[in-house]
Amino acid sequence: MRNAVSLAACALLLAWGATARAQQLENPRTDYTAYTRQKGKLTVGLLKTDLGIIDEITIGTYPLPWFAFPVLKSTIPNVYAKARTPWKGPFTAAVGGSFMFIDGKAIAQLANKSASASAVSTTAEFDASYRFDFPLTLSLGFDYAHLRAVGSKNDEATSIEGASSGHTYSVRALGEWRLSRVFALSLLFRYLIYQSPIEIDSSSTDGALTVTSNLSAESTIQKHFTLVPGVSFEWERWELNAGVGYGVFYLPALGLASAKSWPVADLAFGYRFDVYH
Amino acid sequence: MQLELRFWRVKPSLLIGCLAALSAVACGGAADIPDTPDLRGLIRDYEAPTASLDATSAAQTLHGAPALDELSTGFLAAQNVLDSDVNQASKTSSGSTGSRIRLQGSIGLQIRCPGEASQPNLDESVNGSISITLAIADTKIRRSFGGDAKHCALQGTRAGRTVRVELDGQVAFDLGNDIGIGQRWSGKLLASLPGTLTVDGHEFRSISGLLSDGVFQYLVNVDSGTVVLQLGGDDVITVRDGNGTWFCREGEPCAMQ
């Protein structure tokens, strides 16, 4: 009897491991990992939508900023892409990048009404993922984000006419332990290596005085660590990754880091379907 | 497995080079803080003159000095211009700051001079201009700054009438202390003018002056060191040397008090 129970337990573990592993291979998580969407697979979500052009290349966008017009009086176009290594095996590497343009009208709505600069955000990432024999995946990544604001020469004299820029370097590690075909536990760790001072070049004219400044601003209390435990659900069509943790908060899509530590929520969900094979 | 080995087969020298380049980029980004004129020697001379005078030499020093009321008029005119403009620069930059923000860099001020007429004429070709550069470090405007005046015409008041004051050449100022961004300047001003200051047609070259609490002081070099002359009330001019202060009144001998 005891042997039978042991055998059954062993079979159950093997079956669980096999199904979990299958899910890892079919629909691996693409956030914070080196994995990409399978060819022809489109995942539509409010926070993120992407398409596997081929197995190794995924392109996508963050839909919400596109629909920011009612709030920001302007839409925010953005796109990202990721390409992974073509080989099969436990180790996968990838490079990715994104581009976002924020019109001056949107910045004026977000911040100073008199500001008229537009902003360009670019990010780059390097990822490496290793799939262990048991259903555990470990991913390491390096992120770079650059934000540059460029003003217009035709602005009002008191508005920002120069440029602002800042860049952020961070590394991260994501461990995902798939407990079943549907459910996985995850732990995301991020470390902010460096966030540059924000450079602000501006010029203003008021009567007899023209003030031209070349200044940089940086936080005196910059925090570095973020830890986000979470869960991941992978259904037939739906996927959901959610986590709540604490630490430095990274602005979605822009990649800029908060100076203080905050409660951090990490959320991604989408509906998957095949566009082509 | 073979692929993994290939991935890690990176030349150490290349890796070190890449990391060094990355760290160099990462350490950049802070705006440069411009050099400021070193006025510490001049400040020391005003605070602690070194000469040792007697009543006679104090009177002689006074007689050899330029007209202090004219100089005072010129420095007050310059102070009036800087008063609003330095405070404006401080106010303009304050939008970027908070208690947890460190600001640094430079602020350039281009001041179009108003001229001596009651109605300002901001045409640079008529009344000239002053360019000065403020250094910002640790979210404060550094107390010393320098610049260049180009025939900058200002309005001065002397004996109840309006006179023309003109600054030309290099200028260097000290505000008494660093000014926190968003804070106002106390008004204390030490000026070193290697160029020329012209007040009501009288030209002064390579001079300095200190305005503190509305009182004008002027540094004079004598054989035994330095003394500071100060305009007081009731036609009294004080002469401060290394030993104390002489009080001098027109037509009377100077007396130490």
The confidence score (pLDDT) of residue B89 equals 67
- The answer to whether the CB atoms of B111 and A166 lie below 8 A apart is no
The confidence score (pLDDT) of residue B118 equals 82
Confidence category of residue A18, pLDDT binned at 50, 70, 90: very low
Among B7, B103, B110, whose Cβ lies nearest the Cβ of A210?
A: B110
| CA–CA distance, A216 with A194 (Å, rounded to integer) | 15
The confidence score (pLDDT) of residue A88 equals 84
Whole-prediction pTM:
0.67
Q: Does B113 touch chain A (CB under 8 A)?
A: yes
Evaluate whether A226 touches A265 at the Cβ level (below 8 Å).
no
Evaluate whether A168 touches A215 at the Cβ level (below 8 Å).
no
- The answer to whether the CB atoms of B104 and A216 lie below 8 A apart is yes
Residues 148-207 of B with CB under 8 A from A: none
Residues on chain B touching A87 (C-beta within 8 angstroms): 3
Phi then psi for residue B11, to 5 deg, are -65, 130
Q: State which H helix or E strand residue A58 sits in.
A: strand A57-61
Q: What is the number of other CB atoms lying within 10 angstroms of the CB of residue B55? A: 14
| CA–CA distance, B212 with B215 (Å, rounded to integer) | 5
Q: Which whole number is the average pLDDT over B188-205? A: 91
Q: Return the exposure string of A147-180: e unless at least 16 CB atoms fall within 10 Å of the residue's CB, then b.
A: bbbbbeeebeeebbbbebbbbbbbebebebbbee
- The answer to whether the CB atoms of A211 and B109 lie below 8 A apart is yes
Confidence category of residue B92, pLDDT binned at 50, 70, 90: low
Q: Does B29 touch chain A (CB under 8 A)?
A: yes
3-class secondary structure for B158-210?
ECCEEEEEEEEEEEEEECCCCEECCCCCCCCEEEEEEEEEEECCEEEEEEEEE
| CA–CA distance, B67 with A231 (Å, rounded to integer) | 83
- The answer to whether the CB atoms of A219 and B96 lie below 8 A apart is no
Q: Does B101 touch chain A (CB under 8 A)?
A: yes
Q: Which whole number is the average pLDDT over B77-88? A: 76
The confidence score (pLDDT) of residue B21 equals 37
- The answer to whether the CB atoms of A212 and B30 lie below 8 A apart is no
Q: Does B105 touch chain A (CB under 8 A)?
A: yes
The first and second tokens of residue B155, run together, are: 């309005």
* Structure confidence by residue, pLDDT tens digits, A246-261: 999 998 778 888 888 9
* Structure confidence by residue, pLDDT tens digits, A152-167: 444 433 333 345 667 8
Q: What is the ipTM of this complex?
A: 0.76
Residue A211, classed as helix, strand or coil, is strand
Residues on chain A touching B84 (C-beta within 8 angstroms): 209
Domains of chain A in start order, with CATH, are 2-274 (2.40.128)
* Structure confidence by residue, pLDDT tens digits, A99-149: 999 887 766 665 554 555 678 899 999 999 999 977 899 999 999 999 887
What are the CB-based long-range contacts (under 8 Å, 24+) for B3-6? B3/A85, B3/A87, B3/A89, B3/A91, B4/A89, B4/A91
Q: Is the pLDDT of residue A151 over 60?
A: no
Share of chain A above pLDDT 90, in %: 50
Q: What is the number of other CB atoms lying within 10 angstroms of the CB of residue A257? A: 26
Q: Is the pLDDT of residue B126 over 70?
A: yes
Residues on chain B touching A93 (C-beta within 8 angstroms): 7
Q: Is the pLDDT of residue B40 over 50?
A: yes
Evaluate whether A30 touches A17 at the Cβ level (below 8 Å).
no
How far is the alpha carbon of A197 from chain B, nearest alpha carbon, in Å? 6
Confidence category of residue B15, pLDDT binned at 50, 70, 90: very low
In DSSP terms, B112 is beta-bridged to B129
The confidence score (pLDDT) of residue B212 equals 86
* Structure confidence by residue, pLDDT tens digits, B147-194: 999 999 998 888 788 889 999 999 999 998 898 877 777 778 899 999
Residues 6+ apart with CB under 8 A from A16: A179, A180
Question: Nearest residue of B to residue A198 by CA position?
Answer: B29
- The answer to whether the CB atoms of B112 and A206 lie below 8 A apart is no
Residues 6+ apart with CB under 8 A from A246: A226, A227, A228, A261, A262, A263, A264
How far is the alpha carbon of B246 from chain A, nearest alpha carbon, in Å? 42
Average pLDDT of chain B to the nearest whole number:
81
Interface A:B, Cβ pairs < 8 A: 101
Among A85, A112, A215, whose Cβ lies nearest the Cβ of B31?
A: A215
Residues on chain B touching A193 (C-beta within 8 angstroms): 26
Taking the CA atoms of residue B92, residue B96, residue B97 and residue B98 in that order, the dihedral angle to the nearest 10 degrees is 130
